[in-house]
Amino acid sequence: MVSVAEDRPLLLRALAGEDTARAPMWLMRQAGRYLPEYMAVKAKASFLEMVQTPSLAAEVTLQPLRRFDLDAAIVFADIMTPLPSMGVPVTFNPGPVVEPLRTAAAVEALRIPDGDEIAPYLCETLKLVRTELATKNVPLIGFGGAPLTLAAYLIQGSGSKEFEEFRGFLRREPSTAHALLNTLTEVSIRYLRAQVNAGAQVIQLFDSWAGLHDEDTYRTFGLPYHRRVLAAIEGVPRIFLAVGAGHLLGCIAELPCEGVSVDWRTSLSVIRSRLPGRTMQGNLDPAALLGDATSLTREANAVLRAGVGGPHIFNLGHGVFRQTAPEQVARLVDVVGGFDRHAGRR
Amino acid sequence: MVSVAEDRPLLLRALAGEDTARAPMWLMRQAGRYLPEYMAVKAKASFLEMVQTPSLAAEVTLQPLRRFDLDAAIVFADIMTPLPSMGVPVTFNPGPVVEPLRTAAAVEALRIPDGDEIAPYLCETLKLVRTELATKNVPLIGFGGAPLTLAAYLIQGSGSKEFEEFRGFLRREPSTAHALLNTLTEVSIRYLRAQVNAGAQVIQLFDSWAGLHDEDTYRTFGLPYHRRVLAAIEGVPRIFLAVGAGHLLGCIAELPCEGVSVDWRTSLSVIRSRLPGRTMQGNLDPAALLGDATSLTREANAVLRAGVGGPHIFNLGHGVFRQTAPEQVARLVDVVGGFDRHAGRR
Band (B1; pLDDT cuts 50, 70, 90): very low
Per-residue model confidence as pLDDT tens digits over B46-102:
999 999 999 999 999 999 999 999 999 999 999 999 999 999 999 998 899 999 999
pTM (2 d.p.): 0.96
**B215 reaches A (C-beta below 8 A):** yes
Instruction: Give, in order, the Cα–Cα distances in Å from B202 to each of A200, B20, B139.
Output: 57, 18, 8
Alpha carbons A249 and A81: distance in angstroms, whole number: 28
**A302 reaches B (C-beta below 8 A):** yes
Could A292 and B172 be called an inter-chain contact, meaning their C-beta atoms sit closer than 8 Å?
Answer: yes
Predicted pLDDT of residue B82:
97
Per-residue model confidence as pLDDT tens digits over B326-340:
999 999 999 999 999
Alpha carbons B61 and B140: distance in angstroms, whole number: 10
Chain A residues close to B328, C-beta within 8 Å:
none
Predicted pLDDT of residue B247:
96
What percent of chain A is predicted at pLDDT more than 90?
A: 95
Q: Which of A217, A271, A285, A321 to mutate to test binding with chain B, by most B CBs within 10 Å of its CB? A: A285
- Which residue from B281, B280, B282, B291 is spatially nearest to B321, judged by alpha carbons? B291
Amino acid at B241: L
Q: Is the peptide bond before A197 cis (omega within 30 degrees of 0)?
A: no
This model of the complex carries an ipTM of: 0.94
Alpha carbons B313 and A33: distance in angstroms, whole number: 46
- Are B164 and A321 a contacting pair, CB within 8 Å? yes
The neighbouring-strand residues paired with B92 are B96
On the question of pLDDT at B273 being above 60, the answer is yes
Instruction: Give, in order, the Cα–Cα distances in Å from B128 to each of A12, B53, B78, B214.
Output: 67, 11, 18, 41
Phi, psi of A141 (to 5 degrees): -100, 130
Give, as one character, the DSSP assignment of residue B302: H
Region of residue A34 (phi > 0: left; psi between -120 and 50: alpha; otherwise: beta): alpha
Chain A residues close to B293, C-beta within 8 Å:
none
- Which residue from A265, A254, A309, A270 is spatially nearest to A287, judged by alpha carbons? A265
Predicted pLDDT of residue B344:
77
The order of strands in the sheet holding B279-284 is B73-74, B140-145, B202-207, B238-242, B259-262, B279-284, B312-316
- Which residue from B136, B124, B153, B144 is spatially nearest to B52, judged by alpha carbons? B124
Chain B residues close to A172, C-beta within 8 Å:
290-292, 295
**B222 reaches A (C-beta below 8 A):** no
Per-residue model confidence as pLDDT tens digits over A281-328:
999 999 999 999 999 999 999 999 999 999 999 999 999 999 999 999
The neighbouring-strand residues paired with B240 are B205, B260
Alpha carbons B12 and B238: distance in angstroms, whole number: 10
Per-residue model confidence as pLDDT tens digits over A20-55:
999 999 999 999 999 999 999 999 999 999 999 999
What percent of chain A is predicted at pLDDT more than 70?
A: 98
Per-residue model confidence as pLDDT tens digits over B178-232:
999 999 999 999 999 999 999 999 999 999 999 999 999 999 999 999 999 999 9
Q: What is B241-297 written as a DSSP string?
A: EESS-GGGHHHHTTS--SEEEE-TTS-HHHHHHHSTTSEEEEEE-GGGGGS-HHHHH
Chain A residues close to B287, C-beta within 8 Å:
164, 167-168, 170-171
On the question of pLDDT at B6 being above 70, the answer is no
